[in-house]
Amino acid sequence: MDISKLLTKPFEPHPASPGASRYTNAVLRNQNNETVKFYDDLIRGKQCVVNFMYAECHGSCPAVTQTLKTIYRELKDRMGKDLFFYSITTKPEDDTPAALKHYAETRNVDLPGWYFLTGESYDIETIRFRLFGMDHPGFDGDLTLHGSYLRIINDGRNSWGMAQAFASNRNILKRIAWQDPPKSYAERVVESRARQILIEQEVKKYGYRRDVMS
């Protein structure tokens, strides 16, 4: 099997991906009132950032949405192609697709590749536990506690990471990049050589190297 082809093929899940057994195939509706299956349509083989919110939330949700909006600008070349944002409501009883559409439009975030999702509350609760559960009742039982985490999934790589929405945008972007599809050895060698110049400049300027790997 030529692994490099497998890795660059879009939307091919990693053979070890737990698939719907972890992510569920719950039927959700997006802000355009389209029906989607959570794993098959949204996660399978894709890289995505998932957060939980609700439209009437006046706590951290608007700030998180604002953060995602800022980050979206940086990533817009990839958005909707191999990178997606999913904002899932924790109050599906209030947040109909129409309400989410209104929410997205008033905040100018009704953008390609960014879905606001609603569905059955049991399904949403299950997804929330599967993505953020830490087997800690005081932690997992409280709706508000996961408000500012972003779950970053790359099903094509079977990897997931996490970012805090209140971290710096650069930090969040880096954490999303940490889940990017792996680069080939040759690509990394080219990058590595280009970086050498940067290192030497920095060392000359500061006496030591201040950045990390960028």
Partner 1 sequence: MPNNEAKDRPEIESKTENTISRRSVLKIGAVAGAAGVLAPSMLTSKEALGFQEIAEPVRCDPPAPAASPAHHPFVDNFSAPFPCDDHPLNPQPTEFPNLGAGEADRAPHPRWTQFAPAHFTYDMSAQAGLHQFHSDFGQTYIWGFNGQYPAPTLFGKYGKSGLVRFRNNLPTFTTTFGRNEMTIHLHNGHHGSESDGFAGDFFGTGFWKDNLYPNVYAGIDAYGGNPGVDGVGDPLEKMGSFWFHDHRAEFTLNNNVLGMNGMYIVYDSTDPGHENPSAGSLQLPGYYGVTDFPLILVDHKFCATSGGRTELVNAAGGDKFIVNGKIQPKMTVRRRKYRFRILNTGPTQTYDLTLIKPDGSVGTITVIATDANFLEHPLPVDAGANAGNSNSTTTPIVPGGLRVSVAERYDIIIDFAAFNAGDKVYLKENRSMFVGNPSPDPLPAGLNINNVLMQFNVVNREPWFPVDTPPIPSTLCTYPTLPATDNTWEWQFVLVGGRFRVKRPFDTVGCTFDPDHSAHCILQGTTEEWLINNNIASGWTHPVHIHFEEFRTLKRFVNGVEVPVPPLMSGRKDVSRMEAGQGALIKMQFRDYSGRYLIHCHNMAHEDNFMMVRWDIVPDQAALDACIADQQVCELEMKAKENYREEVA
- The per-residue DSSP string of 101-125 comes to HHHHHHTT---TTEEEEEE-HHHHH
CB-neighbour burial class of residue 62 (10 A; exposed 0-12, middle 13-18, buried 19+): middle
Cα–Cα dist 49/154, whole Å = 9
**Total Cβ atoms within 10 A of residue 4:** 12
The least distance separating partner 1 from the CB of residue 158, rounded to whole angstroms, comes to: 7
The least distance separating partner 1 from the CB of residue 63, rounded to whole angstroms, comes to: 4
The least distance separating partner 1 from the CB of residue 167, rounded to whole angstroms, comes to: 4
User: Looking at beta carbons only, is 32 or 144 nearer to partner 1?
Assistant: 144
Cα–Cα dist 176/173, whole Å = 5
Q: Which residues bind partner 1 (CB under 8 A)?
A: 3, 6-7, 14-16, 18, 21-22, 58-60, 62-63, 66-67, 139, 142, 144-149, 158-159, 161-171, 174-175, 178, 182-183, 185, 188-189, 192-193, 195-196, 199-200, 203, 206-214
The least distance separating partner 1 from the CB of residue 102, rounded to whole angstroms, comes to: 16
The least distance separating partner 1 from the CB of residue 164, rounded to whole angstroms, comes to: 4
Residue 151: closest CA among 139, 134, 138: 134
User: Looking at beta carbons only, is 24 or 30 nearer to partner 1?
Assistant: 24
| 108 conformational bin, left if phi > 0, alpha if psi -120 to 50, beta if neither | left
User: Looking at beta carbons only, is 35 or 192 nearer to partner 1?
Assistant: 192
The least distance separating partner 1 from the CB of residue 185, rounded to whole angstroms, comes to: 5
Contact (Cβ atoms closer than 8 angstroms) between residue 115 and residue 42: yes
CA 190 from chain centre, in angstroms, equals 28
User: Looking at beta carbons only, is 81 or 195 nearer to partner 1?
Assistant: 195
User: Looking at beta carbons only, is 15 or 77 nearer to partner 1?
Assistant: 15
User: Looking at beta carbons only, is 105 or 200 nearer to partner 1?
Assistant: 200
For 62, list phi and psi in degrees, rounded to 5: -60, -35
